[in-house]
Amino acid sequence: METGFSWIVFSYKVPSEPSTLRVRIWRNLKELGVVYIQQSVCVAPDTPEVRKKLMQIKKLIESSNGEAHLLEVSKFSVDTEERLIDTFNGKRTLEYQEFLEGCAIFQKEIETETAKGNFTFHEVEENEADLLKLKRWFRKIMKRDFFASPMLAQAKNRLDQCENLLVKFTHRVYQSEGYSEGQIVKESATGEELDDM
């Protein structure tokens, strides 16, 4: 499989104390989407963002009396590269599966409130906040989905379904509250609702 990527191997060694430093580094590397090939040795495609963040992590480690090395690898053997890409995609698949579960919970919530006829602006606000979390979650996974996991399209489609479901639910809320679509509701200082078109 020809990826067109070169790679970065990042190795590091940090003092045993404080343990918070090790946790912070591990979290930053996990967020970046690296794959560990040994303890404290990880690999990632050499992209500008990956390189920038690894340089920041390297500086953090060195400023805390640790050691860190960035090794540039233009090409691995075909077998190694295929195994690495499978590992990257396997990790993204697990993340997308968890994301799809989050989408299912979101959809179930709207279906439950619809069945109850609970068409309130409070529900819209709650569901908008939940959808925003789903969108941020999806963007985070997609950012580290270097090799376009087979589940990317499914996850994007499910997120679109969630968005469409919320649009329909919001429309029902506006209908039940007696407002036309696009109407903005403001509250005056006395608590009365004022309509602006």
Mean pLDDT of 71-75: 93
Over residues 15-65, the pLDDT tens digits come to 888 889 999 999 999 999 999 999 999 999 999 999 999 999 999 999 999
Fold held by 7-75? Alpha-Beta Plaits (3.30.70)
Task: Note the pLDDT of residue 190.
Answer: 38
Over residues 25-34, the pLDDT tens digits come to 999 999 999 9
197 pLDDT band, cuts 50/70/90, is very low
3 pLDDT band, cuts 50/70/90, is low
Task: Note the pLDDT of residue 180.
Answer: 52
- Position 118 pLDDT exceeds 90: no
177 pLDDT band, cuts 50/70/90, is confident
- Position 131 pLDDT exceeds 70: yes
DSSP codes of every residue in 49-64: HHHHHHHHHHHHHHHT
Domain range annotation of the chain: 7-75, 81-179
